[in-house]
Chains A and B, each alone.
Chain A
Amino acid sequence: MSSTAPHILVIDDEPQILRAMRTILTEKKFQVTVANRGEEGLTLAAANPPDLVILDLGLPDMDGFEVCARLREWTQIPIIVLSVRDSERDKVTALDKGADDYLTKPFGIEELLARVRVALRHSAQSQGRKETIVKAGTLVIDLARHIITRAGNEVKLTGTEYKLLVYLAANTGRVLTHHSILTNVWGEAEADHIEYLRVYMRQLRKKLEEDPERPQYILTEPGIGYRFLADE
């Protein structure tokens, strides 16, 4: 991240959205560039690399996945994709193709800002040192010492549960697709066994959440995956 205000590139074909985003994000002390075509967005990104890209999946000239893939050819800057409801499959495809997060239109601006913050922080972290202690409410995960405590009491986890939690905690605030969790925790061969994930997430919630039916830390992203929320 540069020392000046973070630079955000917004690629969307709706002039009203671009106008609103420019106004709001500028007001929130971001530097904003806008593009209403995929090709234009790629050119702008190459000419003046932004710190983050907000990309609409439904562009008129090329599909959002391609923009994602072309950006990923040369940069790891975070990409947040915008999409409409009921296109879970598109969102998952974009995420698996390198996008960092997604937002469903219409969205609240607080939600957008939270996603932007998480994405910027994560990209800063992956360049610098990693956090070894993750705190979420009364929950403390010490990744270096392999100790998890809830309200001061140690929580016992099985090997798989621990691997799962470590993966979640390393990606605090980010959406993780079913596929990426399964591949990272169980391995490529088990990537389709979403049933493992359901069962282990339930076990994990029972051990970590106050009310497993209304989780506060391990959130379900319907049709997409999970998101681990920790204190900022």
Chain B
Amino acid sequence: MYRSSASSRFILGYLLGFLTFAITTGMLYVLRDYLDTPLIALLFLLPVGINTAFWGLGPGILSALSAFLGFNYFFIKPYYTLAVHQSSDLIVLIVFLVVAVVISQLVARAQAGLAAATTREREATKLYELSAALAGVQDDQAIVRIVATEALQTFTAEQVQVTVTPAKSQEWQLILPVEAMAITRNPEWTIPLQTARGMLGEIRLWRADATLEPAEERLLHTFASQGAMALERAWLTQTETRAKVLEESDHLKSALLSSVSHELRSPLATIKASITSLRSGNVQWKSSAREDLLATVDDETDHLNRLVGNLLDMSRIESGALKPQRQWNLIVEIIGGVISRMRKATEGHQLIVDVPEDLPLVPVDYVQMEQVFDNLISNSLKYAPPNTMIRISANKQDEGMLLVTVSNQGPPVPQEHLDRIFDKFYRVTDADRVTGTGLGLSICKGIIAAHGGRIWAENLPYGFAFNFTIPLTLDGTPPHTLPVDSETI
């Protein structure tokens, strides 16, 4: 298509060039008796210049020759012959020919220069667009999509296929336009995506017109190298990020080990001390003392069990294996269960549950949610002074979310710690002053996130609060409505 329009344009150029010449000749012929020969020669230069400027060198030269012949035939005496009698006329004629040819060449050269500049500008613009689109894109899929889209538009291709062959994983490809029919013939152009490190893939281009202008071919190669470089950069960044994550997790693991061995050892020490005391035959224990020691062993065993549970949960959250079994639950039932289990621990505080009666069912994992409340209440108990109030409230929010708040009257937490208290092993106070693995709140964060919610902490005018949200729909649907049940026994 592109080619055929170019050749018809070429023929049109010659036709219009000749037409311009004919019109000029006609007009000058009418005015022949009023004009001097040199003036006519000058006026004849007009169509030569115009034709070269509009239609290029060929039509320009044609009109220069036509003008030369026409000028001689119609305007140099004797009229209607190509003979020349006066020597001055001969000079005019020769000068005219030379000037006409020179003008048409000069104009044509200027035109060619302009065209080249336009092509270069277009090339530069396209390249700029491509590199602007690629800048900062770190996702290899996105990079390939950009390269393919730009190539499709720039080269007016029927279809573009970009194949990527990563070193360590499966080869994959992208074909544009998406709805394209399968083309059976071989692509007209195949350009490798090559960098100094090797082949990353290739671009295949199907195009009705197999030939490309040299500038276009150059542009296509530049596209390929830009794309290849962007891909390489993206992969390098990914590798670097992975290395960083590994380093960080290594660091966390050693923090975990030190925290864990300390935390596990203290209940073990207590248990060991109590049991060996009871077994030693030297001392006759009073029955109340025996009871005390045994109760301590019992408590410490539970504590140890909780610690191990926390560690397990954390490793599950880390490895992404924590999959909540979301079922419809009454939040008030979960809170009630946790509070009655924690009755002994909460004796020194005043617990208030403020949950409206008409609160809808929430799709949560019962056991994991119990853990969230357990951890948030335990945390509040640790920091809030004795005999103060701990308040648990839940309310429906407009956006189909449930907002739960566990607030206490404890001291405020400095602003810079508020976001970080959900990080693993992060403690606002010294580790020696408060017991725990430093995992409780990060487990809460992991569980809430796995439920599609958000958890955050804030300082209140007279205390401190944990807030979290939970979506009220399960896979986008609210709970099933209940069948009517009115009959009474």
19 further A-B contacts with Cβ under 8 Å, apart from A214-B336, A222-B370, are: A86-B313, A88-B367, A146-B489, A156-B488, A157-B489, A158-B487, A158-B489, A159-B487, A160-B485, A193-B480, A195-B479, A198-B329, A199-B482, A213-B332, A213-B336, A214-B339, A215-B336, A220-B366, A222-B337
| CB of B392 to closest CB in A, whole Å | 11
Complex contact A158–B486 (CB within 8 A): yes
Q: Which 3 A-B pairs have the closest CB atoms?
A: A195-B328, A213-B336, A195-B479
Complex contact B488–A158 (CB within 8 A): yes
Complex contact B333–A198 (CB within 8 A): yes
Distance, CA A86 to CA B371, complexed state (A): 11
**How big is chain A's contact interface, by range?**
20 to 34
| CB of A33 to closest CB in B, whole Å | 27
Distance, CA A161 to CA B328, complexed state (A): 19
| CB of B114 to closest CB in A, whole Å | 75
**Chain A CB within 8 A of B312 CB:** yes
Return the contact of B328 from the options A89, A194, A213 (Cβ within 8 A): A194
**Chain B CB within 8 A of A85 CB:** yes
Complex contact A158–B365 (CB within 8 A): no
Return chain A residues, CB-CB under 8 Å to B485.
Answer: 158-161
A157 and B482 contact, Cβ closer than 8 Å, known pairs A86-B309, A198-B361: no
Complex contact B366–A223 (CB within 8 A): yes
| CB of B481 to closest CB in A, whole Å | 9
Complex contact A196–B482 (CB within 8 A): yes
**Chain A CB within 8 A of B301 CB:** yes
Distance, CA A89 to CA B370, complexed state (A): 17
**How big is chain B's contact interface, by range?**
20 to 34
| CB of A113 to closest CB in B, whole Å | 16
Return the contact of A223 from the options B309, B330, B365, B489 (Cβ within 8 A): B365
Q: Which residues of chain A in 110-159 are interfacial with respect to chain B, using CB atoms and an 8 Å cutoff?
A: 146, 156-159
Distance, CA A83 to CA B382, complexed state (A): 31
Complex contact A157–B480 (CB within 8 A): no
Complex contact A86–B367 (CB within 8 A): yes
Interface centre among B313, B370, B488 (most CB of A within 10 A): B488
Complex contact B482–A159 (CB within 8 A): no
Task: Give A residues with C-beta under 8 Å from B.
Answer: 85-86, 88-89, 106, 108, 146, 156-162, 178, 193-196, 198-199, 201-202, 213-215, 220, 222-223
Return chain B residues, CB-CB under 8 Å to A202.
Answer: 330, 333
Return chain A residues, CB-CB under 8 Å to B7.
Answer: none
Q: Which residues of chain B in 382-404 are interfacial with respect to chain A, using CB atoms and an 8 Å cutoff?
A: none
**In the complex, number of A-B residue pairs with CB atoms less than 8 Å apart:** 71
**Chain A CB within 8 A of B345 CB:** no
Closest partner residue, chain A, to B361 (CB atom)? A195
Complex contact B333–A88 (CB within 8 A): no
B293-315: CB near A (< 8 Å → 1, else 0) gives 00000100100010001001100
Interface centre among A86, A156, A162 (most CB of B within 10 A): A86
| CB of A149 to closest CB in B, whole Å | 13
Distance, CA A156 to CA B337, complexed state (A): 26
Complex contact B330–A89 (CB within 8 A): no
**Chain A CB within 8 A of B238 CB:** no
| CB of B351 to closest CB in A, whole Å | 11
Can you identify 15 A-B contacts, CB atoms within 8 angstroms?
A86-B309, A86-B312, A158-B486, A158-B488, A158-B489, A160-B485, A178-B327, A194-B328, A196-B480, A198-B329, A198-B330, A198-B333, A213-B332, A214-B339, A215-B336
Return chain A residues, CB-CB under 8 Å to B366.
Answer: 220, 222-223
Interface centre among B340, B353, B482, B485 (most CB of A within 10 A): B485
Closest partner residue, chain A, to B336 (CB atom)? A213
Return chain A residues, CB-CB under 8 Å to B353.
Answer: 213
A223 and B479 contact, Cβ closer than 8 Å, known pairs A158-B489, A160-B485, A214-B336: no
Distance, CA A214 to CA B338, complexed state (A): 10
Closest partner residue, chain A, to B474 (CB atom)? A195
Complex contact B488–A85 (CB within 8 A): no
Return chain B residues, CB-CB under 8 Å to A86.
Answer: 309, 312-313, 367
Return chain B residues, CB-CB under 8 Å to A215.
Answer: 336
Return chain A residues, CB-CB under 8 Å to B479.
Answer: 195
Return chain B residues, CB-CB under 8 Å to A199.
Answer: 330, 361, 482
Return chain B residues, CB-CB under 8 Å to A106.
Answer: 301, 305
Closest partner residue, chain A, to B305 (CB atom)? A106
| CB of B296 to closest CB in A, whole Å | 15
**Chain A CB within 8 A of B325 CB:** yes
